[in-house]
Structure 1
Amino acid sequence: MKTMATHIKRIGKNDRQAQSQHTNAWEVMRPFVHFGIKATAAIAHTLIWIVKHIPKPDNQRQEKSRNNKIIKI
């Protein structure tokens, strides 16, 4: 009678074929780091644009005072 487990792996005996082919972490993580930097830059540019285009309270007061001038002839 045959047993189902024909391959026995012993603890502490590392098999070179079972290990990952990528031993350099930078090569594996480089696309993710690149995407993270680009995404952070896009968010930063968007936030800067939003902050620059928020109307300031002083500008509204000046615009109202300019429009309310009456010139008498």
Structure 2
Amino acid sequence: MANHPVKYNTTQNRAGTWKHNWEVMKPFVHFGFKAIALIGGTLISIIKLLPMLAPHKEEAQKKETRIIRI
């Protein structure tokens, strides 16, 4: 009997390994999703804000370019 190879159920071993890997990586995955959501929300806010700032900048340039003649 010692010469017979041991048969392992590879599907259970792989499933156990995947479950263990998921348990280890789960906090990092959740942090990554939250970080991406935060960065995306910030970029959307910045993009929405930029068109509002453009007219004010043009008005400021017009005021500075007036020529005063004496």
TM-score by length of 1: 0.47
Structure with more contact order per residue of length (Cα contacts < 8 Å, sep ≥ 6):
1
